[in-house]
Homo-oligomer: A and B are copies of this chain.
Amino acid sequence: MSAASPLLTAEERARALTDLPGWQVTDDGRALTRELTFNDFTAAFGFMTRVALMAEKMDHHPEWTNVYNRVSISLSSHDAGGLTGRDLELAGAINRLAGG
């Protein structure tokens, strides 16, 4: 896809993480992950709904798993083959929604 954002360098990834509490970069450097725990299912899914609306607006979507009150999120720019600025933007938006 011609519109793919450029991949982040290792240095850019490391620097960005200092602004994204709760997130980790996977060992292969291709994804950002975060685990969140809520009081119950409705709180977890309510959060997911807010993220879903934001993700759709940003046209960048998470890979995520929900088990009752837990939500595991992985972000990557598949068209670019790894992490780009779009993942950092979505991670930041998710943190703001999480109140973190």
**Interface positions of A from 9 to 43, Cβ below 8 Å from B:** 41-42
Q: Are B45 and A52 in contact (CB-based, < 8 A)? A: yes
Q: Are A64 and B66 in contact (CB-based, < 8 A)? A: yes
The residues of A with any CB-CB pair to B shorter than 8 Å are 41-42, 45, 48-49, 52, 55-56, 61-68
Partner of A68, one of B49, B61, B66, B68: B61
Docked Cα-Cα span, A64 to B54, in Å, equals 20
Docked Cα-Cα span, A68 to B52, in Å, equals 10
Note all chain B residues with C-beta closer than 8 A to A49. 45, 49
Docked Cα-Cα span, A65 to B63, in Å, equals 7
**When A42-B56, A45-B52, A56-B42 are in contact, do A65 and B68 touch as well, CB less than 8 Å?**
no
